[in-house]
Amino acid sequence: MARTILRGIPVSAGISIGKAYFVNRQKERRIPRETIPHHLVTVETQRLRNAVEEVRQNFMDARARVPEELKEHGAIIDSHLMICQDPKLVDSAAKNIADRAITAEWALERSIDTIGKAFSAIDDPYIRDRMQDVRVVGDKIMQALIGVPKPADLPSGRRVLMAHDLTPADAIELELSRIMSFATAEGGKTSHTGILARSLQIPAIVGVEDLEDSIRDGDLVIIDALKGLIFIDPSEEELAHYSDRKYQFEDYQKAIVKQCHLPAETVDGYRLDVCANIELAEELVQVKDNGGQGVGLYRTEYAFFNKKKMPDEEMLYEEYTTLAEQLAPGKVILRTLDVGADKLLDEQAMLEEANPALGLRGIRFCLRYQNIFRMQLRAMLRASVHGNVSIMFPMISGLKELRQARFILNSVKSELDAEGLAYNPNIPVGIMIELPSAVMIADTLAREVDFFSIGTNDLIQYSLGIDRTNKHVSYLYQPLHPAIVRSIKYVIDAAHKEGIEASVCGEVASDPYCVPILMGMRVDGISIAPQAIPGIKRIIRQIDMEECIELLGDVLTHATVSRINTKVRKRIFKRFPEELSFFASLIEQDDITEP
């Protein structure tokens, strides 16, 4: 067995074996947490501003040197540049220097920690991972203050890169062709580190605990980015096993990518839409390359998070039009804002709510800040003439919110009519079903919208009352809990009864054990991460609806999670042994022992 095994979050599938090389090892830094004489406050503040200017210039240089393989990440570097230029972070740190008479390093650390505490209370993993962008910029400023040298050139040969974090700007500094894989201490599933790895098509694991303490330069490591494991100094048996697995996975990937543009149709003719969840227009390349039929969830928050000032209608119109034109005739579902995005770096505003996950987010934010909502709706409506565009409202809890949102939408349509601006008057309007209250009245809501999209990530957490990021209760995050299975089925049935479509987005929709159950419910479509599309489409093409309906019926007869999981694992793995050996499923590990 390996001397040490580390665990993290797999964000770009694959396996690699090689020698480790560390860059940006944060634990080696010494942050001077010291007070300073008051007459040096001005000098210390200028040190801070000089460091910010150095980092800003480095980001600009990196932006000018973006290579072809990273061209879609220019927008990410732009976002880091915008955060660097935003006065709020710097002004907050400068205020700490003045008020507390402390070093610039300590002041910056305090400001970032304050912002981080606010973001850590947010339930949505996408929003939490945007805090990582703030930390990236703060870390670069800290390096400039402390005087950390830039990464040296990689040693000879290809290496497994290890880092506290890795950004597109960092990657540009290195020789990309010699990075076989990487692992970082920071990052999450939706962080830009993961997007970077998927673009480079190399295995990657993020959020690895004890990474910096456990690995030295030159250590032989195995990166299992299928399961999220790192083996340090592996045994001969493990090396042999993973060498075989590596070639098996690469052959499997070649096979599924060749078939990814075939329809997602079962052997008995049942077809469903397989679309992608994305946040950047630059990700459209991945959607198309992986056989996505459209975008089932476009997270519009990114444009608001990563601008120096609030984006205007024209900026949003251009962004949405690009999506619509490039995907036509494929559909694009634009989700309206799901966060108070204009307060990204406003610490006080972020901290006003004791529980942001249950506070002013989603449609609640939009109904309160109608000027932002109306601007976004105008841009969406105008873009609708350029392709197959739909609008979706998040976090709907009841009929009143839905009707208020639709009233505003109709008002915006009237404005555009008066101005002579074109739009699709019959643009489909749907809602996210992610709250238990929406599930319970799905039959009523279905009469007033054109489609449902079931957001299983939030639905599971709100229904089961758990935070999946809390390691003490994460074992309770059970996608096949009887309450969740019945809730999803009820929503789909309610939609079909009223003649509208129901799709599922969230991790459940990309889980090979769960997808056949969703198909048994006759779900109309799924929306998943682009890189998951080829494998899921392959499974769909090898199964028939009779099997799926039978499996669902069996699942509905059981009252406990463990019995459902055991039954599903046994049947599905027997059916797809090769495919499932390359997937990390949500239900593979069942930590609950039930009678």
Read off the tokens for 587.
């239900």
**Could you give phi then psi for residue 18, rounded to 5 degrees?**
180, -175
Q: Is residue 268 within 8 Å of residue 519, measured between CB atoms?
A: no
Catalytic residue among 84, 505, 514, 548: 505
Q: What is the C-alpha to C-alpha distance for residues 125 and 366, in angstroms, rounded to an integer?
A: 20
458 labelled as ligand-binding? yes
With residue 432 as reference, give the H or E element that holds it: strand 429-433
Catalytic site residue 505?
Answer: yes
Q: Are strands 429-433 and 451-455 parallel, antiparallel or unpaired?
A: parallel
468 labelled as ligand-binding? yes
Sheet holding 179-184, edge to edge: 4-7, 229-232, 220-224, 15-23, 159-163, 179-184, 204-206, 9-12
Q: Bridge-partner residues for 202, per DSSP?
A: none
575 labelled as ligand-binding? no
Residue 386: C-alpha distances to residues 24, 325, 327, 380, 382 (Å): 44, 6, 10, 10, 8
Helix (H) and strand (E) counts in the chain: 25, 16
CA atoms in the 13 A half-sphere facing the CB of 192: 29
Peptide bond into 263 cis (omega under 30): no
271 labelled as ligand-binding? no
Catalytic residue among 73, 80, 164, 192: 192
Say how many C-beta atoms besides its own lie within 10 A of residue 6's C-beta: 21
Output the DSSP codes for 138-162. HHHHHHHHHTPPPPPPPPSS-EEEE
7 labelled as ligand-binding? no
Output the DSSP codes for 28-73. G------B--GGGHHHHHHHHHHHHHHHHHHHHHHHHT--GGGGGG
Q: What is the C-alpha to C-alpha distance for residues 421 and 408, in angstroms, rounded to an integer?
A: 17
DSSP state of 551: H
**Burial profile 141-159: b = 16 or more Cβ within 10 angstroms, e = fewer:** bbbbbeebeebeebeeebb
| Terminal Cα-to-Cα distance of the chain (whole angstroms) | 33
335 labelled as ligand-binding? yes
Q: What is the C-alpha to C-alpha distance for residues 256 and 542, in angstroms, rounded to an integer?
A: 12
Q: Which residues are annotated as a binding site for phosphoenolpyruvate?
A: 299, 335, 457-458, 468
Residues annotated as part of the active site: 192, 505
The annotation places the binding site at: 299, 335, 434, 457-458, 468
Q: Which residues are annotated as a binding site for Mg(2+)?
A: 434, 458
